[in-house]
Structure 1
Amino acid sequence: MTTRTARSSRGRRRGGPSHAVARGRSYQGPLWGALAALTVLGAAGFVAVDGGSSGTGVRSEPTERARSGRLGSTAPTSAPPSASAPPSASASPSPRTSPTSTPDIPATGPGTFITAAGGGGAVGSGTVLRYRVDVETGINLSPTDVARQVDRILADPRGWTADGRSAFERVSSGPADFAVRVATPGTVDRICGEYGLDTGGEVNCDVGKNVMVNLRRWLLATPVYAHRVKDYRALIVNHEVGHFLGHGHVGCPGAGRPAPVMMQQIKGMHGCLPNVWPYDDRGRYVTGPALS
């Protein structure tokens, strides 16, 4: 998780393995206990990224954001977004993997980015948000492939377009409302740190117009996602874009029910089942009690 320093009060805390938290809060004991519990839950079904539901699970990833202003998008009537949610980041310790399966992840990079080429028409109805997909120079990821995955997530009928108010269009040039940027841990730390967030080399954050995705999290996920990495990536994008749209954190709506995407699932499932999508297959918004 990340820690917000005194330099800025403009980020917003996200829940989950890749979010930062405010200075002074300890996450060590509860976090590792939550991860152990989530690892067990990971054996349950998951909501697949590349198709329909094959169950209910993926754990949401918290992240923090710092923005100079908010978009005027409206949340579903059943769960209005918090108008005063503070900045935040997501913390997520590295999952335990065998040496042979762990990719070589550079600690830091040059801080320059390659923007995925191309784009497409808008998906969804309502206010069109233009977004860019960037990959840090020198890391072994294809910008085209990353963009393809982000495009699929944002266009999924269970995603934020189901609110009937949000639409997304990827661009490769010109103005953009936000950018999804996959970068090395060091670069994420630097950019998030400019907004007073401490990502600790491990977590993601959402600051300014940047959704910063830690390369470690993109490649390794966390224990509950160890075999469902693409689902985990969907959770990162949906949680962070949800914050961008004005949604705050919520809690578990009840034992045995799907966990909301905006729930900080990394802190424990509290009886909820893992879930990666904002809406279910029937177009119902998956939410829970608002958290301060």
Structure 2
Amino acid sequence: MGRHSRKSPGPTRGDTGAAAGAAVERGTGRRGRDPATPPPRDGHGPSGDAPQVRGGHPEQHEPGGGWGTGPQQRPGPAGPAGQEVFRAGQAALARQRAAERAAAGRRPAEPETGGDAPLIPGPRREFLEAFDTTPSRPAPPLPPEETDRTSAEADGPADGRTEGDGRRTRGGKGRAFTGIAAAAVTTVLAVVVAGQVARDSDGPADGPRPAGTDRQNSEDASRSVDRTTPQVKQQEVKTLSYAQKMATAFPLAPDLRASGAFEAVQGLAKAPGTGHRYRYRIDVEKGLGLDSGLFAEAVQKTLNDDRSWAHNGAMTFERISSGEPDFVITLASPGTTAVWCAKSGLDTTEDNVSCDSAATDRVMINAYRWAQGAATFGPDKMLTYRQMLINHEVGHRLGHNHVSCRTPGALAPVMQQQTKTLDLDGVKCRPNPWVYPGS
């Protein structure tokens, strides 16, 4: 580095006198000063009298702190003899410091350079030792290029010494800055850890939680404790009455042919009357998808109604599921109904009607008619059509044949083929489900 802060080449550390031709005061160890030169301020002379410093830059010393207080005086007693004594004392002090460093595990200090030059006081020792730490193991020596780079970045050693090739040694001030940086990093880590602990103890933070966060905690945090869960109003399932079910049409294809296998409706429905008792069983073809319980209930109620064949106690009907019945009332698909009716020489495919298969024990009720009704009754008379369908086919089993309506506008006889027509030979009658409708 050049001495760009000096106006002219200054004296070396070995110079103890004034410039040539100037008067020298003997025995004081101080250089003479030209009377025209103004007196020094704050212990420092003009640029020609400035002490040699690190890097060639004048150091700006402030009162107090690690650099001492007040004007700096040149060390050592006055005179040449005093200089020798002072240097001997400094060498002894350096050896003592080196021994202390060796005992403490530190690297020994570098030997003094410029033996004849007075020493420039550096920072107070206690200021530097506050940041000195004993290394766990000695650092390996740096290569020359790394040493140059490290020396250029650091402020230099605390005592201002340099090696013979001009490179600076890594002194106490560099370690001081290292200690300060380590302390700052430790403080930042302590703040971060303390904040994390506080956040974990206080509950979930405002930011997004990590992927591993417990699900239960996330749900608790997302809803208020005082907020009540909205109650879903359960819709009451309205139970249809027997009459309502009997008045409802059910979906079923007119050309359906189901499994052909039958299943008896279980249970016993005792005969309510005192007349001749007919015991019957109800079979329903598997795969229809119709309510077999509703069908069984309708048969029992219809046959034992006083307007039906049980009028005036002439007979009574009892449903069984085991034992030998008098006949079997069978609810079957149109295809299966046609098969069983054909066994008695009857063709039900033309109008998709029901029959009493007299050659067998089955009274066949076409499931399509039971589910969909007939145009002669219309959709608003499903209940009465189903009652007519039961009474008409059981009437055939009881020995009754077809009868036609004779009076226009009158109720059609129950044994008339009301599924096909209510207008027979120009006489139009009204639909009727009962054997004795006026009773």
Judge same fold: TM > 0.5, yes or no: yes
1:147 and 2:296 aligned: yes
Specify the alignment match of 2:308 in structure 1. Answer: 159
SS in 2 for 1:195: coil
RMSD of Structure 2 on Structure 1 (CA):
2.4
Specify the alignment match of 2:437 in structure 1. Answer: 280
SS in 2 for 1:233: helix
Does structure 2 retain, via aligned residues, the 8 Å contact 1:158–1:278? yes
Does structure 1 retain, via aligned residues, the 8 Å contact 2:422–2:430? no
Specify the alignment match of 2:75 in structure 1. Answer: none
- Amino acid across the alignment from 2:343: E
Q: What 5-or-longer segments of structure 1 have no aligned partner?
A: 1-48, 52-96, 283-292
1:217 and 2:374 aligned: no
Structure 1 pair 259–163 and aligned structure 2 pair: CA distance change class (3 A) = farther
Q: Distance in 1 between matches of 2:428 and 2:257?
A: 38
SS in 2 for 1:230: helix
Q: Distance in 2 between matches of 1:119 and 1:104?
A: 31
Q: Distance in 2 between matches of 1:271 and 1:141?
A: 33
Q: Distance in 2 between matches of 1:105 and 1:264?
A: 19
1:170 and 2:322 aligned: no
Specify the alignment match of 2:111 in structure 1. Answer: none
* CA offset digits 1:241-292 (Å, max 9, x no partner): 111112222222422321110123333332322111001242xxxxxxxxxx
Equivalent residue for 1:271, pick from 390, 408, 428 = 428
Q: Distance in 1 between matches of 2:277 and 2:415?
A: 22
Q: Distance in 1 between matches of 2:421 and 2:411?
A: 15
- Amino acid across the alignment from 2:326: D
- Amino acid across the alignment from 2:286: T
- Amino acid across the alignment from 1:267: T
Does structure 2 retain, via aligned residues, the 8 Å contact 1:107–1:186? yes
Kindly indicate whether structure 1 or structure 2 has the higher relative contact order, using CA contacts under 8 Å at least 6 residues apart.
Answer: 1
Q: Distance in 2 between matches of 1:109 and 1:249?
A: 29
Q: CA shift at 1:153, angstroms? A: 0.9
- Amino acid across the alignment from 1:213: I
Does structure 1 retain, via aligned residues, the 8 Å contact 2:332–2:366? yes
Q: Distance in 1 between matches of 2:396 and 2:380?
A: 26
* CA offset digits 1:184-221 (Å, max 9, x no partner): 11111111122222221722111122111111111111
Specify the alignment match of 2:353 in structure 1. Answer: 203
Structure 1 pair 119–200 and aligned structure 2 pair: CA distance change class (3 A) = same
SS in 1 for 2:433: coil
1:229 and 2:382 aligned: yes
Does structure 1 retain, via aligned residues, the 8 Å contact 2:412–2:431? yes
The structure in which a higher percent of residues are helix is 2
Q: Within 5 A, what are the aligned runs for 1:35-74?
A: 50=243
Q: Distance in 2 between matches of 1:144 and 1:103?
A: 17
Count of residue correspondences: 186
Structure 1 pair 118–181 and aligned structure 2 pair: CA distance change class (3 A) = same
Q: 269-278 or 178-187, which moves further after superposition? A: 269-278
Q: What 5-or-longer segments of structure 2 have no aligned partner?
A: 1-241
Q: Distance in 2 between matches of 1:211 and 1:189?
A: 12
SS in 2 for 1:133: strand
Q: TM-score, normalised by structure 2?
A: 0.40
SS in 1 for 2:344: coil
Q: Distance in 2 between matches of 1:102 and 1:111?
A: 19
Q: CA shift at 1:137, angstroms? A: 0.8
SS in 1 for 2:387: helix
Structure 1 pair 273–261 and aligned structure 2 pair: CA distance change class (3 A) = same
Specify the alignment match of 1:80 in structure 2. Answer: none
Specify the alignment match of 1:7 in structure 2. Answer: none
Does structure 2 retain, via aligned residues, the 8 Å contact 1:124–1:162? no
Q: Distance in 2 between matches of 1:171 and 1:200?
A: 30
Query: Which one has the largest radius of gyration?
Result: 2
Q: TM-score, normalised by structure 1?
A: 0.58
Q: Distance in 2 between matches of 1:241 and 1:170?
A: 14
Instruction: Quote the sequence identity (%).
Output: 39
The structure in which a higher percent of residues are strand is 1
Specify the alignment match of 1:119 in structure 2. Answer: 268
Equivalent residue for 1:245, pick from 398, 402, 405 = 398
